[in-house]
Structure 1
Amino acid sequence: MIRALSRLSAALLFAACLAAAQDTQTPATPPTEQSAPTSAPGVPARANVRSGVLVGREAGGVRVWQGVPYAAAPVGERRWKVPQAAPLWVGERDASQPGPVCPQLRADKSVRGAEDCLFLNVYAPANAVHAPVMVWIHGGSFRTGAGSDYDGRVLAQERGVVVVTLNYRLGALGFLAAPGLLEGRSVGNYGLLDQQAALRWVRENIGAFGGDPANVTAFGESAGGMSICAQLASPGAAGLFDKAVLQSGPCTPSINMSPVADALKSGAAYTRALGCPDSDATCLRAVPVDRFLTTDVPGVRSPGSVALPPVYGESVVPRAPKEVFASGTIPRVPLLVGGNRDEGTLFVANIEKGGKDLPVWKYWGLVAVLERWNAPRLLAAYPSRQYETVGLAAASLVTDGLFACPVNDMTRDFARVTPVYAYEFGDRSAPTVLRPTGSVPSYGAYHAGEIVSIFGTPLSNLADPAAFTPAQAQLARTLRAYWTNFARTGNPNGETLPEWPRFDPTRDNLLTFAPGRVAVSTDFRTEHRCDLWKR
């Protein structure tokens, strides 16, 4: 059933992406190009890492280092290779500006970034000594985004943690599995290997910034959460982080990861589309970066799905994460796992243009074509007449089948072997600059809607904490307290906070977050119709 829903949601994502490309005023997916935060004027701040001396800036009680290389440039012969150690430098290296982002397309189809992009950014309290470390892995459908899109200053100053944000290779440069790139059992997943390299860099160097290398938490949202999800199934990630937070990031649906055999078929077709023989790595390494961004991946697949997603069945992720989690063979690190009440609204909003709602015939047609014999059951469970718009019926279906229930299934598996704290972000008035549409008159607790609360800083073209009501501002502080308490101790609870019980699969208990109300819920699976989406 999850595989079938992945096909349906993929079609909706495809339509949303088309709409977003036509109307950048109302993006259908979380925006990926932010105004990269730069260090405020201040005094120099030096850190001596293994490669040399970095000079960042200190202002307002926070020290910031940006554009820090954590690996060698993945160019030339190093394209589609395991990341190599960052080069040494002589003297002091300026770390006051972000480095280039990894190559990606903007909404207007222009190219953003450069192939030499393996940089990270560090935000630390000025007086940090053995502070907890939080490493952020950004989202963006494995195609877009950058660490420098996110500003860790508030978390550092308010909560006393060291925050690291990072870039990793995206699109074909990060996830192409082609026959010519096979090295033993390794192929694809270069972006996941970059994340592992960055986490190793943190273990080796974060003490120079006042962080505790023995207390590292990986956290991420959407593709970032899916990345951490995949890392839990990767032997190479063992020991690289002590705790993890997965926000709206299930890696188990088929839309989000590909078996290696399928990936190699897609990669071979893509290699030929680029004008190279199937097994010619030299030819591939000579292809200009822009062509990878503008050449479509041939082949039959669900429309709108990530054409080159992470891969399982090779050396980085040897087994399907769903199988790994069901078997209980994951690192026994504490986990904080959850999602948002209305994930699907962001993806459905722009399917129809001109202020129109999604036509009911199109909704029925999508379900009938993609779900076949199961369509009547789904249409009965999500009848458009019971929603304000047809688009909201589709959004509810996407929320439950692609996000809520897979996340809950993973959580139940995790909780059998390691401490887990589960949540749902439920602020259905979450502020956003996204415009209402005929399909989605209100975005509710939308996908990515919690990020500005967690960071306490604006996310360009999505939302700004300045728009919070007093109750929303208090909720944001509460979220930051829980997240950083968890990073500090593996338990999110603390004085003055409502108690957050550890997840118990027999109770299915999770903490729900809304302005003025933080409470335990045990009816999640009923609310999200998870019996329909059994594995």
Structure 2
Amino acid sequence: MTRTLSLLTAALLTVASAQDTTAPAPALPPTTQAAPPAAPGLPVRAQVTSGLLVGREAGGVRVWQGIPYAAPPVGERRWKAPEPAPLWVGERDASRPGNVCVQPRPPLAGGGLRGAEDCLYLNVYAPANAARAPVMVWIHGGSFRSGAGSDYDGRVLARERGVVVVTVNYRLGPLGFLAAPGLLEGRTDGNYGLLDQQAALRWVRANAAAFGGDPANVTVFGESAGGMSLCAQLASPGAAGLFDKAVLQSGPCTPSINIAALPDALNTGAAYARDLGCPDGSAACLRAVPVERLLTTPVPGRRAPGSVALPPVYGDAVLPRSPQEVFQSGEVNRVPVMIGSNLDEGTLFVAPIAGAGRDLPLWQYWGLVALLERWNAPRVLANYLTRDYPTVGLTASAVVTDGLFACPVNDITRDLARVVPVYAYEFRDQAAPSELKPTTSVPRYGAFHAAELISVFGTPLTDFADPAQFTPAQATLARTLRTYWTNFARTGNPNGPGLPVWRPLTPAQNNVLTFQPGDIHEIIDFRQEHRCDVWDH
């Protein structure tokens, strides 16, 4: 299956490249958002292990931003495991977010770079009256190369649901995931972003009580690359004991485009070091390379434009084995899990391929299927008939949804359910609000990738989606999702008074709860609906 999924994404993006070399990348939320201003309100203090913080309280929510959870990973600390944050004397202003981790700025936002290497900061949102409240730690998405914790606002969750929300930055791109022979330390090489997440979770365990949170009740939740990160953390020995529950939203970490074997990663890293002017690949040479060069020098290797060049790595001390092997063996970090995906994940990725004014040509769709399946192409074409969809682009979107998201997520779900309590869902609001512009090939986005985020947070994502556009039924669904999510964070069980019953998944029945406005119900034919038998070979 992983070979097929890798080819799938490569083929889709190759289609884009063949038609238009300037085809835009998928619009992933919400990397163009400017840093929020200083939090309004009255000063409020919190004593943490490094010193005294001064945040702000307004509207029943206390906010502390820009809190260092580790030392700046600069100079000799570039490409090393994070070290403890330095102490400070006196009060530290925590009314503004810290630097985001350095990343390319999208062309529509002016290009160039955003952020800095000194970026290991987190933000805390707590109810004013919090006392041993559940803690929810958010790991953002962005294809492991963009995004920031401060792009997400935890105020609604804190005020409405009585939880402490923590949003985290972690190193991205080559600074977060480069594995190179000269960087080997002990048995660790690459995965610095995953190590950052573990350091942040250790910080939360040590400091949650200062904000009214319960350090013994920590739930991690994340979407897309954030969900993939948590998927990997479930398989990482170093993450054992750092969290009590996990929520994985649209985050399959098992397909080969989302994870790399260490030998392959080292080969890529060695070639990249040569291109950076470090033919010996030494750590000293690499650490002297300016960050601008790191992010503007293409990572070598044959891959489709837009794919993740430097994903997390397995085979080192952080991830000794592939997540797929760990899940199948049942040797995971055993915590309750809530996991799911969206009904129309693929539309966000296919929409830019053909451009705004034309559908995906039929012959290119046929070529895509032939590239994907070779001898099995007739079987795929028989299951994804273009006549069954309004456009060829929507046919390709179904292929992406099923092959890259729905089926691998469900594979992980069934493996986990053999050893831990698992609650499986699918988000199905096909009229989900969106700022995205439709194209000829994708005239409607449906329940697209990341469409559930404004429901879970209850706040807008700039230039992506806004809960102010909810219908009454969508607003009710959003409050229901927040209730399920926070019930799960509180007890490990999402159920509660007035909610439709959500049963734990049993692998034999494969029962999945579906969410749509005015209709929450269980299905047991998820794999049939997404034609997972096509991808099980």
Q: Cα distance, 1:31 vs. partner?
A: 3.5
Give the residue type in structure 2 aligned to 1:83: P
Q: 1:412-464 CA deviation, whole Å, 9 max, x = no partner? A: 00000000000000000001000000110000000000000000000011100
Task: Give secondary structure in 2 for the equivalent of 1:219.
Answer: strand
Q: Cα distance, 1:8 vs. partner?
A: 1.5
Name the CA distance, whole Å, in 1 between partners of 2:280 and 2:510: 48
Q: Is 1:416 the equivalent of 2:418?
A: yes
Q: Cα distance, 1:283 vs. partner?
A: 0.8
Match of 1:279 among 278, 281, 291: 281
Aligned to 1:248: 250
Name the CA distance, whole Å, in 2 between partners of 1:291 and 1:6: 28
Give the percent of matched residue pairs that are identical in Structure 1 and Structure 2.
73
Task: Give secondary structure in 1 for the equivalent of 2:174.
Answer: helix
Given that 2:78 and 2:175 are in contact with CA atoms closer than 8 Å, whether structure 1 keeps it comes out as: yes
1:385–1:462 distance in 2 versus 1, CA, 3 Å: same
Given that 2:39 and 2:96 are in contact with CA atoms closer than 8 Å, whether structure 1 keeps it comes out as: no
Q: Cα distance, 1:30 vs. partner?
A: 3.3
Aligned to 1:104: 103
Q: 1:350-375 CA deviation, whole Å, 9 max, x = no partner? A: 10124111111111112223432222
1:323-472 equivalences in 2 (<5 Å): 323-472=325-474
Given that 1:29 and 1:347 are in contact with CA atoms closer than 8 Å, whether structure 2 keeps it comes out as: no
Aligned to 2:476: 474
1:131-170 equivalences in 2 (<5 Å): 131-170=133-172
Aligned to 1:37: 36
Q: Cα distance, 1:41 vs. partner?
A: 2.2
Q: Cα distance, 1:482 vs. partner?
A: 0.1
Q: 1:321-378 CA deviation, whole Å, 9 max, x = no partner? A: 0000000001221000000000000000010124111111111112223432222221
Q: Cα distance, 1:500 vs. partner?
A: 0.5
The CA RMSD measured in Å over matched residues stands at 1.6
Greater CA deviation, 383-392 or 142-151? 383-392
1:44–1:349 distance in 2 versus 1, CA, 3 Å: same
Task: Give secondary structure in 2 for the equivalent of 1:452.
Answer: helix
Aligned to 1:208: 210
Give the residue type in structure 1 aligned to 2:431: S
Aligned residues: 534
Task: Give secondary structure in 2 for the equivalent of 1:142.
Answer: coil
Aligned to 1:193: 195
Aligned to 1:69: 68
Match of 1:262 among 256, 261, 264: 264
1:381–1:80 distance in 2 versus 1, CA, 3 Å: same
Aligned to 1:520: 522
1:145–1:15 distance in 2 versus 1, CA, 3 Å: farther
Query: Which contiguous aligned blocks of 4+ residues in structure 1 show a shift greater than 4 angstroms?
Result: 13-24
Q: Cα distance, 1:383 vs. partner?
A: 1.5
Greater CA deviation, 366-375 or 105-114? 366-375
Q: Cα distance, 1:40 vs. partner?
A: 4.1
1:313-324 equivalences in 2 (<5 Å): 313-324=315-326
Given that 1:258 and 1:310 are in contact with CA atoms closer than 8 Å, whether structure 2 keeps it comes out as: yes
Aligned to 1:50: 49
Aligned to 2:183: 181
Q: Cα distance, 1:35 vs. partner?
A: 3.3
Name the CA distance, whole Å, in 1 between partners of 2:306 and 2:321: 25
Q: Cα distance, 1:21 vs. partner?
A: 9.8
Q: Show structure 1 runs of 5+ residues with no match.
A: none
1:202-241 equivalences in 2 (<5 Å): 202-241=204-243
Q: Cα distance, 1:6 vs. partner?
A: 2.4
Name the CA distance, whole Å, in 1 between partners of 2:474 and 2:531: 28
Task: Give secondary structure in 2 for the equivalent of 1:531.
Answer: helix
Given that 1:20 and 1:28 are in contact with CA atoms closer than 8 Å, whether structure 2 keeps it comes out as: no
1:18–1:195 distance in 2 versus 1, CA, 3 Å: farther
1:19–1:476 distance in 2 versus 1, CA, 3 Å: farther
Greater CA deviation, 227-236 or 291-300? 291-300
Aligned to 1:84: 83
Q: 1:79-99 CA deviation, whole Å, 9 max, x = no partner? A: 000000000000000000000
Task: Give secondary structure in 2 for the equivalent of 1:267.
Answer: helix
Name the CA distance, whole Å, in 1 between partners of 2:346 and 2:164: 32
Q: Cα distance, 1:5 vs. partner?
A: 2.7
Given that 1:105 and 1:293 are in contact with CA atoms closer than 8 Å, whether structure 2 keeps it comes out as: yes
Task: Give secondary structure in 1 for the equivalent of 2:137.
Answer: strand
Name the CA distance, whole Å, in 1 between partners of 2:2 and 2:536: 7
Q: Cα distance, 1:39 vs. partner?
A: 4.6
Task: Give secondary structure in 1 for the equivalent of 2:365.
Answer: helix
Q: Cα distance, 1:12 vs. partner?
A: 2.1
Name the CA distance, whole Å, in 2 between partners of 1:343 and 1:186: 34
Q: 1:194-223 CA deviation, whole Å, 9 max, x = no partner? A: 000000000001110000000000000000
Give the residue type in structure 1 aligned to 2:83: Q
Q: 1:174-213 CA deviation, whole Å, 9 max, x = no partner? A: 0000111011221000000000000000000111000000
1:16–1:163 distance in 2 versus 1, CA, 3 Å: farther
Greater CA deviation, 129-138 or 179-188? 179-188
Given that 1:342 and 1:443 are in contact with CA atoms closer than 8 Å, whether structure 2 keeps it comes out as: yes
1:499–1:19 distance in 2 versus 1, CA, 3 Å: farther
Q: Cα distance, 1:27 vs. partner?
A: 4.9
Name the CA distance, whole Å, in 1 between partners of 2:153 and 2:362: 42
Given that 1:260 and 1:314 are in contact with CA atoms closer than 8 Å, whether structure 2 keeps it comes out as: yes
Name the CA distance, whole Å, in 2 between partners of 1:239 and 1:349: 41
Give the residue type in structure 2 aligned to 1:106: R
Name the CA distance, whole Å, in 2 between partners of 1:301 and 1:315: 26
Name the CA distance, whole Å, in 1 between partners of 2:305 and 2:18: 11
Q: Normalising by structure 1, what TM-score?
A: 0.97
Q: Cα distance, 1:318 vs. partner?
A: 0.2
Name the CA distance, whole Å, in 2 between partners of 1:402 and 1:34: 27
Greater CA deviation, 10-19 or 176-185? 10-19
Given that 1:20 and 1:350 are in contact with CA atoms closer than 8 Å, whether structure 2 keeps it comes out as: no
1:344–1:55 distance in 2 versus 1, CA, 3 Å: same
Q: Cα distance, 1:13 vs. partner?
A: 4.4
Name the CA distance, whole Å, in 2 between partners of 1:22 and 1:361: 21
Q: Show structure 2 runs of 5+ residues with no match.
A: none
1:504–1:224 distance in 2 versus 1, CA, 3 Å: same
Q: Cα distance, 1:11 vs. partner?
A: 3.3
Task: Give secondary structure in 1 for the equivalent of 2:445.
Answer: coil
Aligned to 2:6: 6
Name the CA distance, whole Å, in 2 between partners of 1:286 and 1:92: 34
Q: Is 1:531 the equivalent of 2:530?
A: no
Given that 1:179 and 1:267 are in contact with CA atoms closer than 8 Å, whether structure 2 keeps it comes out as: yes
Name the CA distance, whole Å, in 2 between partners of 1:279 and 1:2: 30
Q: Is 1:296 the equivalent of 2:298?
A: yes
Q: Normalising by structure 2, what TM-score?
A: 0.97
Given that 2:314 and 2:322 are in contact with CA atoms closer than 8 Å, whether structure 1 keeps it comes out as: yes
